[in-house]
Amino acid sequence: MSKLLLRGRVLTFVDEPKSIDDQSAYSYFEDGAVLVENGKVVEAGEYAALALVAGPQAQIVDHRPHLILPGFIDTHLHFPQTQAIASYGAQLLEWLNTYIFVEEQKFSSTAHADFIASRFMDELLRNGTTTAAAYCSVHRTSVDAYFAAAEKRNMLMIGGKVMMDRNAPEALRDTPQTGYDDTKALIAKWHGRGRAHYAISPRFAITSTPEQMDMSRALVREHPECYVQTHLSENKDEIAYATSLYPSAKDYTDIYANYDLLGSKTLLGHCIFLSDREISALAEARSVAVFCPTSNLFLGSGLFDQGRFKELGARTSVATDVGGGTSFSMLETMSEAYKVLHVQGQRLSQFASYYMMTLGNARALDLEDRIGSLRAGADADITILDSRAKPAMELRMRTATTLAEELFILQTMGDDRCVSEVYVAGKPMKSGLDKAAASHGA
Ligand code: GUN
Ligand code: FE
């Protein structure tokens, strides 16, 4: 493959910002470029220097005056809930029963699963998200649809079949044995194929019997290379119900600990109402608490206290949680994250937001060698952002004087319209999608 030189204003992180003006956490090149070859970043830096390295044969794509960042990463969402976003009026358990467990039954149809998987991947890309960790439905075929759609686009995606054997409609229940067998078969088929990573996915304590949790433990033991994803402490009624189903557990977190499900590859959605003991248990296990701001507000769940996780040394990441979450956009997600923290007296810095969407989430997935930054050798998953994509943004930007201000405007006012291009392993993807949408009349 030939060399590709992307010219623009390059921003990439090397570490978490320690303070609001910690310039050691990132690299920024005003007249910058990213040199890409064979789907990898060769180097990011000053344009003039990289143009020399690239040589006269390189294809130059001029993205000025736009920003060039690593592709965004979404660490928790549900692909079968794509058409259930904005389901009205219910909190978690009622919302699951009324809307979600109806919607997910549609995924027994492979045609439907294929259609939604394809649209789901395109929607991620349109929003500048190049990697995500998603739950599929209980149906094994939904995982095939998901990874096939990712493979077609060469996206680095994490996913798995949801396991649930109680407290859900019959049509959505597996059994401890079929959940185990299907998961084993899917891991054998998909994990490590191309850029696919499997996540063992017991939905949450309420929908798994102790027998299924035993089987989940077995899967995790047999497949330490896989992720584990589940939900924890999202809603007060949920906590009361979960702990009543596992009366010998000290608390909700202890339910998962008792089945050895807390490890450094475990992603725990929500974690809103945890005690210090529970957060410390997560810190010790190096499990990741996933902050899902649009979902937590939409479902009336509560406010994630990121400051406490930091104090207690626990890892966190950020995610959309579509369809409890209301947007595929990580920019819109960070806009709500800012507000959720602000109302608790915590100030999320402009740079910290962009760290979280990129390198921070890559670290939470232990994938920082491959994604989340533009370091030499990283996969060339890249997002190009236009801070003036909406008229109101263009007006506001006329008064902005610093990069920090621009980033904050982009996060607070921006959405998919601000993603002017997205590259997956060095290949431009968004322009093609926009053309396809125009021809559908979409
Ligand atoms: N807890 C268990 N399942 C779900 C789900 O699908 N979405 C959310 N937000 N929470 C859950
Ligand atoms: Fe979720």
Name the strands in the sheet holding 419-424, side by side, starting at the edge strand that comes first in the sequence. Answer: 40-46, 26-37, 4-13, 59-70, 382-385, 419-424, 427-428
Classify 220 as helix, strand or coil.
Answer: helix
Helices (H), 344-390: 350-355, 361-364
Selection from 120, 67, 74 nearest residue 420 by Cα: 67
Average pLDDT in the chain:
97
Establish whether residue 324 lines the binding site of ligand 1, counting it when its CB lies within 6 angstroms of any ligand atom. yes
Q: What are the tens digits of pLDDT across the range 76-100? A: 999 999 999 999 999 999 999 999 9
User: pTM of the full predicted structure?
Assistant: 0.98
Confidence of residue 21 (pLDDT cuts 50, 70, 90): confident
What pLDDT score does 433 carry? 81
Angle of helix 176-190 relative to helix 140-152, nearest 10 degrees? Answer: 20
Residue 165 Cβ inside 6 Å of ligand 1? The answer reads: no
Q: Residue 67 Cα, ligand 2 centroid: separation in angstroms? A: 30
Helix (H, G, I), strand (E, B) or coil at 427: strand
Distance CA 361, CA 356 (A): 6
Q: What gap in Å lies between CA 231 and CA 210, rounded to an integer?
A: 16
Residue 221 has pLDDT above 60, yes or no: yes
pLDDT per residue over 32-44, tens digit each? 999 999 999 999 9
Contact 8, 33 (CB under 8 A): yes
Residue 441, pLDDT score: 52
Q: Could you tell me the distance, in angstroms and rounded to a whole number, from the CA of residue 234 to the centre of ligand 1? A: 8
* Measured distance between the N- and C-terminal CA atoms of the chain, rounded to whole angstroms: 33
Query: Is the Cα torsion angle 294, 297, 301, 307 positive or negative in sign?
Result: positive
How much distance in Å is there from the Cα of 224 to the middle of ligand 1? 24
Which value does ipTM take for this structure? 0.99
* Protein residue closest via CA to atom 9 of ligand 1: 324
Kindly tell me if the per-residue pLDDT of 49 is higher than 70. yes
Ligand 1, from 77, 100, 231, 272: best to mutate by most atoms within 8 Å of Cβ? 231
78 lines ligand 1 (CB under 6 A): yes
Distance 410 CA to ligand 1 centre (A): 29
How confident is the model at residue 442, as a pLDDT?
46
The ligand with the least distance to the CA atom of 208 is 1
* Pair 150, 195: CB distance under 8 Å: yes
Q: Cβ atoms within 10 A of the Cβ of 442, count? A: 9
Whether the CB of 230 sits within 6 Å of ligand 1: no
CA dist 223 and 416 (Å) reads 36
pLDDT tens digits, 268-289: 999 999 999 999 999 999 999 9
For 235-248, what is the mean pLDDT? 98
Residues, CB-to-ion distance under 5 Å, ligand 2:
269, 321
